[in-house]
Amino acid sequence: AQSVSQHNHHVILSEAASLELGCNYSYGGTVNLFWYVQYPGQHLQLLLKYFSGDPLVKGIKGFEAEFIKSKFSFNLRKPSVQWSDTAEYFCAVKNKAAGNKLTFGGGTRVLVKP
């Protein structure tokens, strides 16, 4: 079965620090990869997505992610975080072999201290 792992459950940072959140998935074939963000009390919103092409994907709010096929990874980065980036971040994977079901990682709760 398809699985997604996010290794960091909680991250605490100061403003202007750099952020990197890890995401690994289990399936080796063609995949769609996503990062979603959930701000406190809100629903999930798409940060960025990878379907094909350039493995370095840029999303909203200064976030980017790099798809490394050989490592089954899709790590999320932001060079300089702001207090408003405090949220929970979810990596998700979809692939045809798994019926295009969307499978989520366990989430990483990020707290940015002002």
Partner 1 sequence: NAGVTQTPKFRVLKTGQSMTLLCAQDMNHEYMYWYRQDPGMGLRLIHYSVGEGTTAKGEVPDGYNVSRLKNQNFLLGLESAAPSQTSVYFCASTGGRQNTEAFFGQGTRLTVV
Would you tell me which residues interact with partner 1 (CB under 8 A)? 6, 9, 30, 32, 34, 36, 42-46, 49, 51-52, 90, 92, 94-96, 99-107
Minimum gap (Å) between residue 15 Cβ and partner 1: 25
Minimum gap (Å) between residue 96 Cβ and partner 1: 6
What are the respective helix, strand and coil percentages of the chain, to the nearest 5? Answer: 10, 50, 40
Q: Closer CB to partner 1, residue 8 or residue 17?
A: 8
Please report which helix (H) or strand (E) contains residue 61, including its range.
none
Minimum gap (Å) between residue 102 Cβ and partner 1: 5
Residue 43 CB contacts under 8 Å (≥ 6 apart), including other chains: none
Sequence length of the chain is: 114
C-alpha–C-alpha distance, residues 4 and 104, integer Å: 6
Q: Closer CB to partner 1, residue 17 or residue 102?
A: 102
